[in-house]
Every structure is written in structure tokens, then in C-alpha cells.
Structure 1
């Protein structure tokens, strides 16, 4: 059984068709990339998967459980977590406190009253910061971080719930070449714990990290397969890659 199965996804905004007949499958511990020109429906697809937008028609299943009618919070509890393209950290708080809030958001009120739970939360925060090379910035105000470090901070926050599926919307947007390379290094170990679905414009980055690519064009799936298959796909070369 696949971890995520989206079938026949349609999304309309009035007369405008944003997605049509979109099928997407993500396997357990797989890095799956979604690429396509601007306006092809990539971000809309992520929003439909996590419930930020309702699908007009179609089904979405996570680990065999239908979730297309669940609200975003229920989908998150089912094991999904999304990092949007626009950074949404709390700029006035420290880096440590941003991640701590993300960790504690998934604890019950009663559990938060116990000192043992607080110690456990702090240990979890320390581990997440270390995973994204943020330990030395723990006491720094988050809003003063560089853009790249803010992106890493938000990925760490998205992982606080220990999701089975992490969705990333252009995680390297605005990064330098070196930051994009480091982002790939920091994400690869996640495959031991969860699957990752990535929307990205940087083709070198996404080809270097993903096992499977799905190409969207005008709201429909143009092709899907391994990186080697997509690179050799004549349809993709004609419609997308030739124009990048």
C-alpha cells in the first residue's frame, strides 16, 4: 500500500480549472518531486493535499485512510505536515522558542504541565536544531536569521509533529547555490523516517534529491517516473525543460 494516493484530483476556481485528472502516488520513505512551469498547478496541488483548499472532485488517501473530507488539522494529525513557500516563523521569538512552540503544539495541555514533558520537548527541540545546523543560533531572534537559515528553521518546525509525509513548497527559493546544496544534504537523512513531497523550480536540486518526478502542465500530469525517465521524456523536453 502506498503512503499517499491521490486519484482524479480536480480543482476549479469558478470557471478556471487549476487541476484536472491529477493522479499522484508517494511511496513510503520516498522523495517525490513535482515540477512544471509557473501556473501549472503545483502549489494548488499541495494545498489540496493538506486541506488548505478543498478538491472539487477526487480522492486522497494517506496510508489507506481517505482524508479528502478532513480539515487541515485532522490531516496533520493523520501524519501530514506542510512548509509553504513563504516563511511563517515568529520573527520576534528566538529560534529555540519557534521550534519549541511547534513541538508543544502537538502535546495535550495536561502533558505540558509536567516537568518531564517539558524536558522531553527541550530535547526534541535540540535534536531538530542540530539536524538543520541551527544549534548555535538557538538563542538568536528568528527574524535576524539569513533567508536560508529561516527556511531551515521552518522545515525543522514542520518536522516537529514527526509526520509520515512532509510537503515542501519551493524549499530553496531565494537561496544561494551553496545553501541549496546544503539543503539537499540536510533533507536526505529524512528518508529514514518519512516521505517527502517537494515542489521546486530548481531542477538541479530536485533531480539530485528525488527518486520520482511528476511533471504538471496546465493543471494536468504530463508525465511521471524516475528522474532518468523524465530526463529522457520527449513530452517533457518539448513542453517544459526546453523552456527553463
Structure 2
């Protein structure tokens, strides 16, 4: 499997606070990669540095062989990188269908949208995205009528609709019931053949079930990285997080 994302020596400072202190992470195509660690360890900051929401203070980020260290979020999206933040960002007053349609239309230019009949032309793509996340029968309902878990699934469907090569998820199961978390794992697994995943998650049972590789962050630095079994047996991790992993 080829290296899809390469983060090398990334630091991030906010004034006198150093949130990231020289982080190295490699994500291979066709894998699910989890970022774990306590609050304040730098997980979400690293995810935002990859997505372009924060630019690194130093270090580099390469995606698909292209240097995206200083690229805009839009430029990264055009290259095939997609992000779902922790806070749900669906449009509650629009239908479930139209939320996904807008995600697909975002790939088009203004002139194409003016001339487009994409509501009809893209119906197959929209319905496929909804079917993958068990929302096809809710297509005509307002997104605001969905449960919290269903809104999270809708936003993941929106993030996947443009067919990215890499999806970044920031605590996608936050606020979900145990059953919704279980189903979320089931719904994500089929995307592995076409889209790699980097996920920040506090639910260690969930992340162990779906991830191939885990990177443990502590105080803005990589404590250890490896397979789930390797991390569970890591002496460094056990010393610091005996009850966490």
C-alpha cells in the first residue's frame, strides 16, 4: 500500500503555547488510522493542520505526493481530502437529500451551477450516498428532524459524496448511543476500499474495532504508533496510559 499522507516534523504554536511539537505521521492508502490521547494532547490540532484549518508553524504535510503544507482547505479538497468536524454542520432547514446535493455541487464552478439541472442529474449519486448510511428513506425529510446520530451519518455521507481519497473525522461518535456507535463502525468499514480514514476518537473500543493503525499523542508529541496489538502491548503507552489503551 502506498503512502497517501505524510506529516513530517509538524509543530503548531499559539502564542507561547506549543500544541504540536514535531509530529510525524504516515497514513497509507486503504487504511484506517486512529489518533488517540488525552484532552490537550494535540489530536484535533493535528487534524486541523492536515485539513488546512490551522497552518503548521513548521514542518511539512504531503498528500498524494503533493506538498499541501500551506494549501487552502479548498485546494486540499480538490486534491481529494475531506473533513468532518466534531460539531455537526448539516443544514437543518434543508432536506436530507439537498444536504448531500449541496456537498456534490460544491465541486462545480459557479457557471456550471447556473446552467445545471444537477438536482435530477445527480440523483443517483445522492441516493447512493444516502443508502450507504441508511438514510435513503429519510431523503425528503428535513435534516433537522433526524436524530443526533443520524445527523452525524448524514454529515459523513456529505463528506464522502465527492469521493475523496482521505476522510478526516473528529470524534464522529460523540453524543451517540452505544448502538449508534456500533452501527457507525459498520457503516464506515465498506469505504476502506476507496477512501483512507484518519479519525480522532475518545471511544477506545470503537477505534480499536475499526482502525488498522493507532498513533498515540501526549503533550503534542507522538508517544507511539503501530497496529492496535502493538499499541496495546507498548511499554511506553502502558507507562503513561495504563488505563487508557
Scaled by the length of structure 2, what TM-score is found? 0.96
- How many residue pairs match? The answer is 243
Distance in 2 between residues matched to 1:49 and 1:68, nearest whole Å: 8
Structure 1: gaps of 5 or more residues? none
Distance in 1 between residues matched to 2:162 and 2:219, nearest whole Å: 33
CA deviation string 1:210-233 (max 9, x = no partner): 000000000000000000000111
Deviation (angstroms), 1:119: 3.1
In the alignment, which residue of structure 2 is the partner of 1:155?
156
Distance in 2 between residues matched to 1:172 and 1:237, nearest whole Å: 25
SS of residue in 1 equivalent to 2:38: coil
SS of residue in 1 equivalent to 2:88: coil
Aligned partners of 2:5 and 2:28 also within 8 Å = yes
RMSD across aligned positions (CA):
1.2
In the alignment, which residue of structure 1 is the partner of 2:176?
175
How has the CA–CA distance of structure 1 residues 91 and 118 changed in structure 2, closer, same or farther, with 3 Å as cutoff? closer
CA deviation string 1:124-174 (max 9, x = no partner): 110000000001111111112110000000000111221100000001111
SS of residue in 1 equivalent to 2:141: coil
In the alignment, which residue of structure 2 is the partner of 1:166?
167
The residue correspondences of 1:38-117 to structure 2 (distance < 5 A) are: 38-112=39-113, 113-115=115-117, 117=118
Distance in 1 between residues matched to 2:182 and 2:101, nearest whole Å: 27
SS of residue in 1 equivalent to 2:122: helix
Deviation (angstroms), 1:239: 1.2
In the alignment, which residue of structure 2 is the partner of 1:18?
19
In the alignment, which residue of structure 2 is the partner of 1:214?
215
The residue correspondences of 1:138-153 to structure 2 (distance < 5 A) are: 138-153=139-154
CA deviation string 1:77-100 (max 9, x = no partner): 111100000001111111111111
In the alignment, which residue of structure 1 is the partner of 2:231?
230
Distance in 2 between residues matched to 1:44 and 1:29, nearest whole Å: 24
Structure 2: gaps of 5 or more residues? none
Q: After alignment, is 138-147 or 232-241 more displaced?
A: 232-241
Distance in 2 between residues matched to 1:152 and 1:64, nearest whole Å: 30
SS of residue in 2 equivalent to 1:75: helix
Deviation (angstroms), 1:114: 4.1
Scaled by the length of structure 1, what TM-score is found? 0.96
Structure 1 residue 7 corresponds to structure 2 residue 8 = yes
In the alignment, which residue of structure 2 is the partner of 1:27?
28
How has the CA–CA distance of structure 1 residues 147 and 182 changed in structure 2, closer, same or farther, with 3 Å as cutoff? same
Distance in 1 between residues matched to 2:223 and 2:163, nearest whole Å: 32
Distance in 2 between residues matched to 1:203 and 1:177, nearest whole Å: 13
